[in-house]
Amino acid sequence: MTTPHQGRTNTQHAIQQIPVALKRDYITVVGASHMTLMEKLRGQKGNKMRFINQGIRQIRLYPPATANHATQRIFLIFTEDYERSLLDAVKEVVETRYGAKYRELDSIAHLLDFINLRVSNKREIKQLDIFAHGLVGTIEFGYELDKADSYRMRDAQVRMLKPDAFDLSGKIHSYACRTGLGINADIHVREDESPRYEDSLAQLIANTAETSVWAYPRRSNYDQTYGNSADRSNLEGATRRVRADKLAMDRYEMQLSSYRKRRAAQSSTSNGANTQLPNEPAPRPPIKTASSEDERLVRHAKSRDAYHQSIGYPLDAEGAVRPVRAGDSPTGVPATLREYKPR
178-235 confidence digits (pLDDT tens): 999 999 999 999 999 999 999 999 999 999 999 999 999 999 999 999 999 999 999 9
96-127 confidence digits (pLDDT tens): 999 999 999 999 999 999 999 999 999 999 99
Q: Which is nearest to 49 in space by CA: 308, 309, 343?
A: 308
Backbone angles phi, psi at 265, to 5 degrees: -65, -40
Identity of the amino acid at 123: R
Gap between the Cα atoms of 183 and 179, Å rounded: 10
Gap between the Cα atoms of 66 and 60, Å rounded: 14
Contact partners, residue 53, CB within 8 Å, separation at least 6: 225, 226, 314, 315, 316, 319, 320
Gap between the Cα atoms of 24 and 29, Å rounded: 16
Sheet holding 138-140, edge to edge: 133-135, 138-140, 152-153
Mean pLDDT of 63-89: 97
- Record the pTM: 0.89
Gap between the Cα atoms of 316 and 11, Å rounded: 62
Partnered with residue 173 across adjacent β-strands are 129, 214
Identity of the amino acid at 225: T
310-337 confidence digits (pLDDT tens): 999 999 999 999 999 999 999 999 999 9
Angle at the Cα of 315 (from 310 to 316), degrees rounded to 5? 120
**Cβ–Cβ contacts within 10 Å for residue 219, how many?**
18
Least confident of 38-52, 77-91, 139-153, 222-236: 38-52
Domain locations in the chain?
22-226+322-340, 234-310
Backbone angles phi, psi at 299, to 5 degrees: -60, -45
* Per-residue pLDDT at 5: 41
* Per-residue pLDDT at 8: 42
User: Can you say how many angstroms the Cα of residue 27 is from the centroid of all Cα atoms in its chain?
Assistant: 10
Long-range pairs, 11-19, Cβ under 8 A, ≥24: none
Alpha helices in the chain (DSSP H): 37-42, 50-61, 84-92, 108-120, 148-151, 155-158, 201-209, 229-269, 292-311
252-305 confidence digits (pLDDT tens): 999 999 988 888 887 777 665 556 677 888 899 999 999 999 999 999 999 999
Mean per-residue pLDDT of the chain = 92
In eight-state DSSP terms, residue 331 is: B
**Cβ–Cβ contacts within 10 Å for residue 147, how many?**
17
Identity of the amino acid at 273: A
Backbone angles phi, psi at 23, to 5 degrees: -80, 150
Q: Is the domain 22-226+322-340 a CATH 3.40.50 member?
A: yes
